[in-house]
């Protein structure tokens, strides 16, 4: 099972996207991305937590204490309205770029 | 904005957020371990990387660096103390200079709403005046719509019953205190609704100092009647001295200007349009929202209106230019008027000269400290290489070294703040400045001081930091440049100090006349409305009374005697060249009284007209190579013939080196402004008390101002002496620092070249050769520095010449003695370490390492 590194800039988009369905803790975010990508994408700690700090600083997510499935106190991250907006903007942007790249790949 | 706030929140709650982050990471690892994954990477490192997103890493590093720097400085207290002392001198001089500038120019006067105060002068093609005639002020006051209030003030003196000396009085408009927001220490101050109305009772407000001096701070004083010039005046109160009185001196009394005619016999102050004898300094308070331009424009049109009624009093096309009135600068000028354009302000050249000098001191201090840091770099060689080998990048090392410098700079500026404050306090108490001028540093001084500290840290820290990190301290190039800079800067200071000392000794030496036994008596007859004929009678009576006193050697009179407040300069054309000539009108016995030798020709005879006596240097300047005797000359519109030549005497200006002076015989029109000169054979002090009673006999209304000429002479020199003293101290400090720097460098060179010296001595070099080898490498930086310094001093003295005395810019004595003093001191200072080279034992030196 090959582990692919995350394309730059996509990590923030993915974090925001997986948080749309509800608050998650850091490990769950990594896991969710991993499983949803059919275990292609692997999020390293060294990338995840700095990205989370940046997102927190931007005000796109907030953090709150909760209890994990292992019964441990841990921070859960939740999307804010600003984060929701950012996600919409990034997704439409990503779609356009993706289609454009696809178009080039198909025809060229 | 939100982002910035959140970022700040992270800074303030760093510990909590950091713990939370650590918890996240720990949990992540636990879960990963449960899932069977292996932990990757160092948790601490991960945490640091994540934290970097908050954007405060630099602060952490700065904290680290500062803690390290503090430890380091504490470990070598000798170095730290020396560095702080050196900086304290360099920065202290700057802080003191800036402090004075701040007091003069930047800090508003302690009055109510200083920003809206404007100070007005008169300007017209025909001339200028710093004062307005009272009727003009009154007209403006009644008609202005742009100014909410106008303040007038004129200076005068009144005699109080039972006192020997006349009191200093400011005659003011009654709104003076209410406009300035002055508080009363006792009783009440002037009230514009009561004290200025026609027929109002004469009232007086006392200054706090005078109240304490003269009345022992008697609290029951208000309501008491005192007699001024023999007239009863009611004391209404005492003003506090915390508010500026819009003057650098505090008067004894304030009296409404409307009382001037009641108290001063023959006063025409309220009706006279001429500004020759007196006039009002005028301030206006601008209404909110208006510009000074609007007020100037309104006053200009008001002046034009007034001119239709009083064409003799108001000039054609008169304008009333304003300057900000809420600053000390507006108080500096003495009353002046004249034809043509006003002399440009002297503040700027003085300030720039001062700035140049104090920056030089800072340059010397920083150069010196830079040398110290380089030398320390050698001692820290081991530490630096260890840090490099454990992975410190050169950027990180330079940052660390610069942090150390910045810390030193800030410590030095704190010490400099103290030094600057002490210097200001000392100078201000020595020159008796008013109490409301507070030398305590305000935020501007603090800001300046801190930025000076950081600026000097850059100056002395950057080059050594790079040198040390590159481990290139063996390259003596930087040291030599530092030495050159120090030499140049201290050389400039020494030369300028030398020029000033020369100028001062020139001024304090022989002014060309004998002043020690002379008393001046100024009856100010013009201010008492004397006609020329009355003045003649007065002067003649006075002189004949004087002659009957014992111990009188000679009596004369002059319109502008030495050390007076008045100088008259006239331009005259000589064969196409315009010369500025200082003139005065004198009585025939003038030259004898002041012992100015007549060299050729003759003295005036009584009642002579159209004759002129000139000084020798005027003769040389006007008719070089010719005999001036009998030459016709047109001076200030008078056609005269030169009848005599006297030796050079600096009568009207002690600062003008050329002493180009001309003496007219006193004409009738001069008589009301004549000042008597009395030469005594006994001590002049004993004469002074007799004179005031004698004056009372001649005319009791006139209280002449009696001065001993030797005291006036000392006073005139005092300011210059303080200036010379300060600059000499600066120069001495610079010299001392430069010597320390060079001596240190020589010592270092000797220690570096011990081996080479040993070999040379083993091969038979003589002691003189050895010393020469050590010293030779310093000859070039020293020479370059001296050359640069002399050049810079020549440039600076051009500025200096404009503001001080008549000193020559290329006074060879000053230059050579400064350079000689410098070279000699430096040579002596470096001989001590250089002699160490001679004690090198060749065997020892060769066996070393």
Q: B393-444 pLDDT, tens per residue?
A: 888 888 888 899 999 999 999 999 999 999 888 888 876 677 778 888 889 9
Q: Please say which residue of B294, B327, B360 terminates a domain.
A: B327
CB contact under 8 A, B27 and A57: no
Question: Are residues B380 and B302 located together in one domain of the fold?
Answer: no
- What is the Cα–Cα distance from B301 to B308, expressed in whole angstroms? 11
What pLDDT score does B569 carry? 67
Residues of chain B neighbouring A57 (CB-CB closer than 8 A)? 3, 6-7, 10, 53-55
Is pLDDT of B805 > 70?
A: no
Q: Which range among B195-204, B343-352, B630-639 shows the weakest confidence by mean pLDDT? A: B343-352
What pLDDT score does B623 carry? 84
Check: CB of residue A43 under 8 Å from CB of residue A5. no
Range of the domain at B414: 347-507+716-847
Whether B374 is in a domain gets the answer yes
Residue in chain B closest to A28 (alpha carbons) equals B28
What pLDDT score does B340 carry? 44
Residue reference for tokens 């006075």? B542
Q: A45-62 pLDDT, tens per residue?
A: 778 888 888 888 888 888
Report A:19-78 residues touching B (Cβ under 8 A): 25-27, 30, 44-46, 48-54, 56-59, 63, 68, 70, 72-75
Residues of chain A neighbouring B53 (CB-CB closer than 8 A)? 50-51, 53-54, 57
Q: Is A106 within 8 Å of chain B by CB?
A: no
Residues of chain A neighbouring B49 (CB-CB closer than 8 A)? 46, 49-50
Whether B397 is in a domain gets the answer yes
Confidence band, pLDDT 50/70/90 cuts, at residue A1: very low
Question: Are residues B457 and B539 located together in one domain of the fold?
Answer: no
**What tokens appear for B84 in the block?**
């702080």
- What is the Cα–Cα distance from B226 to B161, expressed in whole angstroms? 8
Is pLDDT of B383 > 70?
A: yes
Whether B476 is in a domain gets the answer yes
- What is the Cα–Cα distance from B274 to B266, expressed in whole angstroms? 15
Q: Which residues contact B434 (CB under 8 A, 6 or more apart)?
A: B241, B244, B245, B247, B248, B249, B250
- What is the Cα–Cα distance from B294 to B278, expressed in whole angstroms? 28
What pLDDT score does B433 carry? 72
Check: CB of residue B705 under 8 Å from CB of residue B524. yes
Considering its fold, how many domains does chain B have in total?
4
CA distance A61 to chain B (A): 12
Q: B254-276 pLDDT, tens per residue?
A: 999 999 888 887 777 888 776 55
Confidence band, pLDDT 50/70/90 cuts, at residue B341: very low
CB contact under 8 A, A45 and B28: yes
In the sheet with B122-124, reading across from the earlier edge strand, the strands are B122-124, B127-129, B337-338
Residue in chain B closest to A56 (alpha carbons) equals B6
Query: Taking residues A93-101, what's their average pLDDT?
Result: 87
Q: What is the helix (H) or strand (E) element at residue B12, kind and residue range?
A: helix B2-12
Q: Which range among B131-135, B352-356, B650-654 shows the weakest confidence by mean pLDDT? A: B650-654
CB contact under 8 A, B28 and A30: yes
In angstroms, the Cα distances linking A47 to A26, A83, B14 are 11, 19, 21
Q: Please say which residue of B299, B327, B355 terminates a domain.
A: B327
- What is the Cα–Cα distance from B411 to A28, expressed in whole angstroms? 52
Question: Are residues B692 and B738 located together in one domain of the fold?
Answer: no
Its pTM stands at 0.69
CA distance B23 to chain A (A): 7
CB contact under 8 A, B27 and A54: no
CB contact under 8 A, B3 and A58: yes
CA distance B51 to chain A (A): 7
Whether B747 is in a domain gets the answer yes
Q: Which range among A99-103, B58-62, B351-355 shows the weakest confidence by mean pLDDT? A: B351-355
Query: Taking residues B767-791, what's their average pLDDT?
Result: 82
Question: Are residues B547 and B641 located together in one domain of the fold?
Answer: yes
Q: B740-758 pLDDT, tens per residue?
A: 777 777 777 777 777 788 8
B contact test, residue of A31, A74, A77, A85 with most B CBs within 10 A? A74
B contact test, residue of A31, A57, A65 with most B CBs within 10 A? A57
C-alpha angle B297-B301-B302 in degrees, rounded to nearest 5: 115
Query: Taking residues B459-480, what's their average pLDDT?
Result: 74
Q: Which range among A28-42, B141-155, B284-298 shows the weakest confidence by mean pLDDT? A: A28-42
Please provide the average confidence, as pLDDT, over all residues in chain B: 81
What pLDDT score does B261 carry? 86
What pLDDT score does B744 carry? 75
B300 versus B735: which is more confidently predicted? B300
User: What ipTM was reported for this prediction?
Assistant: 0.80
**What tokens appear for B844 in the block?**
């020892």
Q: What is the helix (H) or strand (E) element at residue B32, kind and residue range?
A: helix B14-34
B765 versus B120: which is more confidently predicted? B120
Whether B810 is in a domain gets the answer yes
Q: Is B40 within 8 Å of chain A by CB?
A: yes
Question: Are residues B570 and B490 located together in one domain of the fold?
Answer: no
Question: Are residues B378 and B315 located together in one domain of the fold?
Answer: no
Question: Are residues B669 and B790 located together in one domain of the fold?
Answer: no
Question: Are residues B277 and B131 located together in one domain of the fold?
Answer: yes
Question: Are residues B118 and B267 located together in one domain of the fold?
Answer: yes
- What is the Cα–Cα distance from B28 to B46, expressed in whole angstroms? 12
Is pLDDT of B849 > 60?
A: no
Tell me the residue ranges of DSSP E strands in B587-637: 598-601, 611-615, 632-635
Whether B618 is in a domain gets the answer yes
Question: Are residues B730 and B691 located together in one domain of the fold?
Answer: no
Whether B627 is in a domain gets the answer yes
Q: Where are the alpha helices (DSSP H) in B319-393?
A: 329-332, 347-379, 381-389
CB contact under 8 A, B24 and A30: no
B661 versus A3: which is more confidently predicted? B661
Residues of chain B neighbouring A75 (CB-CB closer than 8 A)? 20, 23-24
Residues of chain A neighbouring B46 (CB-CB closer than 8 A)? 45-46, 49
Domains along chain A? Answer: 10-107 (1.10.10.10)
- What is the Cα–Cα distance from B321 to B330, expressed in whole angstroms? 13
Residue in chain A closest to B34 (alpha carbons) equals A70
Render B444-473 in DSSP notation, one character per residue.
HHHHHHHHHHHHHHHHHHHHHHHHHHTT-T
B45 versus B397: which is more confidently predicted? B397
- What is the Cα–Cα distance from B6 to B14, expressed in whole angstroms? 12
Q: How are beta strands B117-120 and B281-286 bridged, if at all?
A: antiparallel
Candidate from B23, B29, B53 with C-beta closest to A54: B53
Q: Which residues contact B523 (CB under 8 A, 6 or more apart)?
A: B538, B542, B675, B676, B695, B699, B702, B704
In angstroms, the Cα distances linking B717 to A64, B508, B606 are 78, 7, 35
CA distance A67 to chain B (A): 11
Whether B439 is in a domain gets the answer yes
Q: Where are the alpha helices (DSSP H) in B552-698?
A: 590-593, 616-622, 684-698
Question: Are residues B567 and B688 located together in one domain of the fold?
Answer: yes
What pLDDT score does B140 carry? 92
Q: B504-533 pLDDT, tens per residue?
A: 666 666 677 888 888 888 887 876 778 888
Q: A76-86 pLDDT, tens per residue?
A: 998 899 889 88
Is pLDDT of B806 > 70?
A: no
Check: CB of residue B278 under 8 Å from CB of residue B269. yes
Question: Are residues B657 and B752 located together in one domain of the fold?
Answer: no
């Amino acid at each position: 099972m090959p582990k692919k590194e995350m394309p730059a800039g996509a990590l923030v988009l993915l974090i925001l996207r997986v948080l749309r369905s509800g608050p998650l803790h850091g490990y769950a975010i990594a896991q969710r991305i991993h499983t949803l990508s059919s275990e292609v994408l692997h999020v390293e700690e060294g990338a995840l937590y700095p990205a989370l700090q940046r997102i927190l600083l931007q005000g796109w997510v907030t953090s709150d204490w909760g209890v994990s499935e292992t019964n441990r106190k841990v921070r859960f991250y939740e999307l804010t309205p600003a984060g929701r907006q950012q996600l919409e903007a990034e997704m439409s942007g990503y779609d356009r770029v993706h289609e454009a790249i696809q178009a080039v790949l198909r025809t060229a | 904005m939100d982002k910035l706030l959140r970022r700040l929140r992270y800074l303030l709650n760093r510990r909590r957020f950091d713990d939370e982050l650590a918890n996240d990471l720990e949990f992540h690892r636990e879960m990963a371990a449960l899932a069977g994954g292996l932990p990757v990477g160092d948790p601490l490192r991960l945490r640091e990387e994540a934290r970097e997103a908050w954007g405060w890493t630099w602060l952490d590093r700065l904290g680290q660096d500062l803690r390290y720097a503090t430890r380091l400085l504490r470990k070598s207290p000798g170095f730290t103390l020396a560095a702080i002392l050196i900086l304290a001198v360099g920065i202290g001089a700057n802080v003191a200079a800036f402090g004075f500038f701040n007091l003069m120019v930047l800090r508003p006067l302690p009055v109510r709403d200083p920003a809206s105060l404007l100070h007005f002068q008169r300007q017209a093609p025909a001339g200028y005046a710093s004062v307005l005639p009272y009727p003009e002020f009154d007209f403006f006051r009644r008609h202005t719509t742009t100014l909410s209030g106008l303040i007038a003030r004129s200076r005068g003196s009144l005699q109080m019953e039972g006192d020997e000396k006349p009191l200093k009085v400011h005659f003011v408009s009654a709104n003076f205190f209410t406009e300035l927001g002055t508080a009363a220490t006792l009783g009440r101050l002037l009230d514009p609704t009561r004290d200025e109305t026609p027929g109002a009772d004469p009232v007086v407000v006392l200054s706090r100092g005078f109240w304490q001096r003269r009345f022992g701070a008697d609290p029951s004083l208000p309501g008491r009647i005192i007699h001024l010039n023999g007239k009863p005046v009611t004391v209404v109160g005492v003003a506090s001295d915390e508010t500026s009185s819009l003057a650098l001196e505090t008067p004894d009394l304030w009296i409404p200007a409307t009382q001037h005619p009641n108290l001063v016999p023959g006063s025409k102050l309220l009706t006279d349009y001429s500004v020759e004898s007196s006039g009002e300094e005028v301030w206006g308070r601008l209404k909110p929202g208006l510009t000074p331009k609007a007020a100037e424009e309104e006053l200009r049109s008001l002046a034009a209106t007034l001119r239709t009624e009083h064409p003799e009093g108001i000039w054609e096309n008169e304008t009333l230019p304003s300057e900000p009135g809420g600053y000390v600068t507006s108080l500096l000028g003495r009353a002046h008027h004249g034809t043509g354009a006003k002399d440009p302000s002297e503040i700027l050249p003085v300030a720039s000269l001062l700035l140049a000098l104090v920056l030089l001191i800072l340059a010397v201090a920083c150069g010196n400290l830079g040398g110290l840091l380089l030398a320390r770099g050698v001692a820290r060689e081991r530490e630096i290489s260890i840090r490099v080998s454990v992975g410190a990048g050169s950027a990180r090392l330079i940052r660390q070294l610069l942090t150390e410098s910045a810390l030193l700079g800030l410590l030095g500026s704190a010490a400099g703040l103290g030094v600057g404050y002490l210097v200001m306090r000392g100078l201000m108490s020595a020159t008796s400045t008013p109490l409301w001028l507070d030398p305590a540093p305000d935020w501007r001084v603090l800001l300046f001081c801190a930025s000076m500290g950081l600026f000097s840290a850059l100056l002395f820290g950057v080059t050594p930091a790079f040198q040390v990190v590159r481990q290139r301290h063996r390259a003596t190039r930087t040291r030599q440049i530092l030495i050159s800079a120090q030499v140049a800067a201290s050389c400039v200071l020494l030369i300028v100090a030398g020029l000033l000392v020369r100028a001062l000794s020139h001024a304090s030496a022989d002014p060309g006349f004998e002043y020690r036994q002379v008393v001046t008596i100024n009856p100010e007859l013009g201010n008492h409305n004397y006609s020329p004929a009355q003045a003649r009678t007065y002067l003649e009576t006075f002189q004949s009374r004087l002659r009957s006193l014992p111990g009188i050697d000679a009596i004369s009179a002059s319109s502008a005697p030495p050390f007076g407040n008045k100088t008259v300069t006239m331009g005259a054309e000589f064969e196409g060249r315009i010369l500025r000539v200082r003139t005065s009108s004198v009585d025939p016995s003038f030259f004898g009284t002041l012992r100015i030798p007549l060299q050729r020709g003759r003295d005036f005879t009584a009642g002579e007209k159209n004759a002129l006596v000139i000084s020798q240097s005027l003769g040389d300047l006007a008719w070089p190579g010719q005999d001036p005797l009998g030459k016709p000359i047109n001076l200030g519109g008078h056609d005269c013939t030169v009848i005599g030549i006297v030796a050079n005497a600096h009568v009207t200006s002690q600062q003008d080196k050329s002493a180009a002076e001309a003496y007219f015989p006193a004409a009738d029109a001069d008589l009301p402004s004549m000042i008597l000169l009395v030469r005594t054979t006994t001590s002049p002090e004993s004469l002074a008390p007799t004179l005031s009673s004698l004056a009372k006999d001649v005319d009791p209304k006139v209280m002449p101002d009696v001065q001993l000429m030797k005291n006036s002479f000392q006073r005139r020199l005092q300011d210059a002496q303080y200036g010379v003293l300060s600059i000499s101290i600066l120069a001495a400090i610079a010299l001392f620092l430069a010597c320390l720097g060079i001596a240190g460098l020589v010592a270092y060179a000797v220690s570096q070249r011990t081996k080479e010296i040993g070999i040379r001595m083993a091969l038979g070099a003589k002691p003189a050769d050895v010393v020469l080898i050590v010293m030779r490498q310093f000859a070039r930086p020293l020479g370059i520095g001296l050359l640069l310094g002399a050049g810079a001093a020549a440039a600076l003295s051009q500025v200096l010449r404009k503001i001080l005395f008549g000193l020559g810019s290329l006074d060879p004595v000053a230059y050579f003695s400064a350079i000689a003093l410098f070279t000699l001191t430096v040579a002596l200072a470096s001989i001590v370490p250089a002699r160490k080279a001679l004690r090198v034992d060749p065997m020892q030196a060769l066996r070393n390492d």
